[in-house]
A = this chain, B = another copy of it.
Amino acid sequence: MLDRKKRIAVIGGSQPTSKEAKAAEEVGRELAKQGAILVCGGLGGVMEAACKGTIAEGGVTIGILPGDNHKTANPYVQIPIVTGMGYARNVAVVKSAQAVIAIGGSYGTLTEIAHALQSGIPVIGLNTWTISRNGQQDNSILLAESPADAVKKALALASD
């Protein structure tokens, strides 16, 4: 059996702040340095910034796309996975990873955080959603202090 590289998903919005985009690029860079494969939704914003960072360090980028056309992938996606399934592809983005790093993000990112938690996949957050159930905060989204810290935590928690 092949010794598979760890796969970490980076999720976040398509219209990040410049700070979020910078963090995503650093996360992507760090993932490549640590020998992990980057999985993402394949589009722009946080996804593109993370892919750019990974490619800059010679890493591998996978983009799991909602639409029917591989040309919608951002220019730093090496391997586009074309689902044609719309937002149902969010399920595959997180399930294909052994840990998830969430950066900022809107409702799409929240769907991915929730799908990951439902599947028991660790989620590390950088300035992203917090969630409370019946007024009680749920601390399942682990906080990271920096992009490097997020990658470190993701790799430490990545399920086998």
Contacts and interface: CB of A to CB of B under 8 A. Distances in A.
A105 B114 CA distance: 12
| Residues of A in contact with B, size category | 35 or more
Number of copies of chain A assembled together:
4
A156 interface: no
B118 A131 contact: no
Contacts of A127: 134
Given A7-B79, A81-B81, A118-B111, A86 B87 contact: no
Contact of A128 (B37, B55, B114, B134): B134
A68 B82 CA distance: 18
A76 B79 CA distance: 17
A110 interface: yes
A47 B48 CA distance: 31
A62 to B, nearest CB: 7
Contacts of A128: 133-134
A132 B128 CA distance: 8
Interface string A105-119: 111101101110111
22 contacts: A1-B75, A2-B75, A4-B77, A5-B78, A7-B80, A37-B79, A68-B119, A80-B96, A84-B88, A85-B86, A85-B92, A87-B115, A92-B92, A107-B114, A107-B118, A110-B114, A110-B118, A110-B131, A111-B111, A129-B132, A129-B133, A130-B135
